[in-house]
Amino acid sequence: MGFAALGEDYPWDSMVPFRARASEHPDGLIDLSIGTPVDPTPAVVQQALQQASNAPGYPLTAGSPALRDAIAAWFDRRRGVPHLTDENVLPTIGSKEAVGLMPSLLGLGTEDVVVHPAVAYPTYRVGALLSGATALATDDVAQWAGDPNVKVVWINSPSNPTGAVLDVPQLRMIVAAAREIGAVVISDECYAELDWRAENSTVPSVLDPAVTEGDLSNLLVAYSLSKQSSVAGYRAAFIAGDADLISRLTALRKHLGMIVPAPVQAAMTAALDDDEHVAVQRAIYQYRRTVLLDAIMAAGMKVDHSQAGLYLWARHPEHRAGCWETITWLADRGIVAGPGEFYGPQGAAHVRLALTAADTDIAAAARRLAH
C-alpha cells in the first residue's frame, strides 16, 4: 500500500499557476520557495575538490580516514559531542538519500511504524512508505510511547519548515520513550549551525552527552554540508552515532554502491576543517533574515518559531482561507513562497519563506511587501 502512495503527484507541481502569476510582476519573479543555496561554494572547498580530481580507484564507502577524523573532530568542536571514532561516522551522498532510504536499510517492513514531526520535511514519510512501513506524523510522544511497532523516530531540530528547536529535556524525553520500545531515534540536524536565538547559542545534538548519558545505542544524527557550506551541488553529508547501526548501514551501502565520490570526500574534509567560511555564510543568512523578517512583519504577517534554520514560518492573520490565500497574495507581489500544507495538514495556515535568495532579491522582496 505504501509504495503506491509514492505515485502521488509531486506537490510542487501545483505551484505552477502561482509561479506564472508571480512572473507577471513588472520586475519579475522572486523565488523564496525552495531552499537551494545561491552563494558561491567557498574557495577552500572548491580547491580541495579540484586537488582531488585525479581519482581512478574506488573510494571507501565508509569514508576516507581523513574524512572520518574530520567528522568526529567537527562533532567535538561544533556540536558538543566528544569521543566519536571512525566507527561512529559514515558519509552519505547528500542527506536526502540517507533520510529516504533509512527505514529500508534498517530493515523496516509492513508491520512497522515510522514517527516523524507533525509538520515535516516530506522525505521522512516517503522513506517510511518506501520500506512498506506506516508513517505517523506527530509531535506528541504519548501517541507512540509504549507501541512496540514503532521502529524509527525522526526528529528534526532546527525544523524544516518551522525553525523550531528542541531543547535537551525534550530530546531526553523522546530518547527515553524510544529506548523503552527499542526504537531508533534519528535526528536530522542539518540546520544546526544556523541558530538565531542568541550570538553563541547552540542547537543541542541528540548525541550530546546531556541527552545520551554516554550511551549512543539506537541513536543516529544526519547532517548535511549543503547549507552551511553552500555545497548542495556536491551532495555532501554524513550520519553518525551508534557504531553497530553505522556498521550495518555501511555494509549495506557497500553492496549498493552508495559511495560518496573521492573528490567530494576531500572537499567535505576541507569544509569540516574550516569553521571560518561557515561563520561567513551564517552572517549572510542572518542579514537576509533580518531584512525579510522586518518586511513581512511590517506587512502584517506573523512569524512562528523560526528560531533557527533557513526559513521563516509565517502566516497572514487576515487570510482566513490559509496558506493558499497567502501564496496568492505573495504571488501578486511577484514573490513565490512554499505552502505550509506541503509539510502536513497542521501547516495549512502558514507559508515557508526561504533565506536562500541573493541579497538583491531579498531587498526587492522587502520593498514589494512595503507597498
Ligand X SMILES: Cc1ncc(COP(=O)(O)O)c(C=O)c1O
Spell out, one character per residue from 152 to 171, where the chain touches ligand X: x when CB under 6 A holds, - when not. Answer: ----x---x-----------
- The DSSP bridge partners found for residue 336 are 31
Which of positions 67-106 make contact with ligand X (CB under 6 A)? 94-96, 99
Rounded least distance, CB 198 to ligand X, Å: 22
Rounded least distance, CB 215 to ligand X, Å: 25
30-31/89-92 β-pairing: unpaired
Among 35, 42, 100, 117, binds ligand X (CB under 6 A): 35
- E runs forming strands in 97-161: 113-116, 134-137, 150-156
Among 205, 218, 224, 326, binds ligand X (CB under 6 A): 224
187 is a site residue for ligand X (CB under 6 A): no
- For ligand X, the closer of residues 88 and 157 by Cβ is 157
Helices marked H in the chain: 2-5, 16-23, 43-51, 65-79, 95-105, 123-130, 168-181, 209-212, 243-256, 262-273, 276-298, 323-331, 359-370
Rounded least distance, CB 49 to ligand X, Å: 16
Q: Is 57 exposed, middle or buried (0-12, 13-18, 19+ CB in 10 A)?
A: exposed
- For ligand X, the closer of residues 316 and 352 by Cβ is 352
Rounded least distance, CB 308 to ligand X, Å: 12
- For ligand X, the closer of residues 194 and 362 by Cβ is 194
- 84 and 71 in contact (C-beta within 8 Å)? yes
- 348 and 11 in contact (C-beta within 8 Å)? no
Rounded least distance, CB 127 to ligand X, Å: 11
Rounded least distance, CB 226 to ligand X, Å: 3
Which of positions 38-57 make contact with ligand X (CB under 6 A)? none
Residue 8 corresponds to which cell in the numbers above? 502521488
Alpha-carbon torsion (156, 162, 164, 170), positive or negative: negative
Rounded least distance, CB 206 to ligand X, Å: 14
* Span of 58-66, 224-232, 239-247, 271-279 interacting with ligand X by CB under 6 A: 224-232
Side-chain-facing half-sphere of 140: CA atoms under 13 Å: 2
Among 85, 70, 64, 86, residue whose Cα is nearest residue 269: 70
- For ligand X, the closer of residues 155 and 369 by Cβ is 155
Which of positions 105-144 make contact with ligand X (CB under 6 A)? 121
- 120 and 153 in contact (C-beta within 8 Å)? no
190 is a site residue for ligand X (CB under 6 A): yes
- 370 and 39 in contact (C-beta within 8 Å)? no
Among 218, 226, 281, 307, binds ligand X (CB under 6 A): 226
Contacts to ligand X by CB under 6 A: 35, 94-96, 99, 121, 156, 160, 188, 190, 224, 226, 232, 237
